[in-house]
Amino acid sequence: MDRAPFRPSFGNRPDRLVGRDSEAAGSLKGLDGPVGHPGRATICLGRRGMGKTALLLEFAELARRRGFVAAKASASPALLAELLEGLARDGARWLPKGRKLTGGSAGALGFSVGLEFDAQEAGPATFRGRLTDISQALDKAGQGLVLLVDEVTANSPQVAELGAAYQELVGEGRNVAIAMAGLPGAVSAVLNDKVLTFLNRAAKFQLSEVPVADVMVHYSQTLKSLGKTIAEADLARAAEATRGYPYLLQLVGYYLLEYVGEDPAVGGAAVDLAIATARKALGDSVFKPALHPLSALDRRFLEAMACDQGPSRMAVLAGRLGVSAASAQQTRARLIAAGVIAAAGRGQVAPALPYLAERLRGEL
């Protein structure tokens, strides 16, 4: 097997985005349209493990097939430099032999790798100036560029500078597009930034759980392609155990193949073990980073929710915690912004992460 069919680590692009066909198609509408198409600005929102990064990587690959140069980076102090580096690398294939896209210099933007920089052709030292230079060079080669930003956070001067530069390129009629992804709460705060108001008009994709039926089809096709068989009941159990959570889909699939080994038949014991191991793996990869930044009151709120087998009523939670309704609502808002819980009907909330309630009850 040249490539593992399941790759349960964050930041990977799986061979196939299960249940995300409409989002992938929607993100391409702008690229297939004329320069300046409103669909060229897109935002992907979703909780941890919902496949935001994978969708960005898929978008980048589809854009490259359409002749665009793409660069992806996470929102951090190095965001601007990493985007320029990425454009320089990816864009080199479209330039005449011997030519280079010059992204910047170590002195100007702190590059971590060796982009050669000719002082005589340096041009402006700002990110906006560098991006304009690259865009102009790509225009001459008949190519456009796509900027992808993952893990968007609020109050980021780098994201604000990127937004201002992008808007300027759009105003100049450049062949550009931008796609961002992040937790719903973080993106909501970004949309309130005065510099980034154009993103309010961007196409937005709210990632939800993948239909379990789609997971079943994916598992069935993957196993068949590997020459393995599985009983329908075991296949259903494996798919249902993912609860439609994309990251868990990868985990269960990965451990399923690990435990079945060279055996051509996937038995019930391998399915049971794969499900149990995948659930435990959620602890380090999803639960710990999600719960670590929470306050003591936030954690108590979650523990109070875990007492319920289904959605929790806010009035009941306030009583269990011995706090006012207003205080409970403030905690609710924080946890929803953090992507840990979600609204579940009028006056109700539920865990937004699969198996979180079971984890808090000590069942996993």
Q: Is residue 33 one of the residues assigned to a domain? A: yes
Q: What is the pLDDT of residue 272?
A: 96
**Does 101 lie in the same domain as 196?**
yes
Q: Which of 172, 206, 240 is the last residue of a domain?
A: 206
Q: What is the pLDDT of residue 323?
A: 96
Domain count, the chain: 3
- HEC readout, 98-133: CCCCCCCCHHHHCCCCCCCCCHHHCCCCCHHHHHHH
Q: What is the pLDDT of residue 117?
A: 34
**Does 317 lie in the same domain as 271?**
no
Q: What is the pLDDT of residue 24?
A: 79
List phi, psi (to 5°) of 72.
Answer: -125, 140
**Does 124 lie in the same domain as 103?**
yes
Determine the structural domain holding residue 59 and report its residue range: 21-206
Q: What is the pLDDT of residue 115?
A: 35
**Does 144 lie in the same domain as 27?**
yes
With a cut of 70, list the residues of the chain below it in pLDDT.
Answer: 1-3, 10-12, 94-124, 194-195
**Does 218 lie in the same domain as 98?**
no
Q: Which of 206, 239, 258 is the last residue of a domain?
A: 206
- Strand stretches in 183-264, DSSP E: 203-206, 229-230
**Does 167 lie in the same domain as 134?**
yes
Q: What is the pLDDT of residue 222?
A: 94
Q: Please tell me the distance from the alpha carbon of residue 147 to that of residue 179, in angstroms, as a whole number.
A: 6
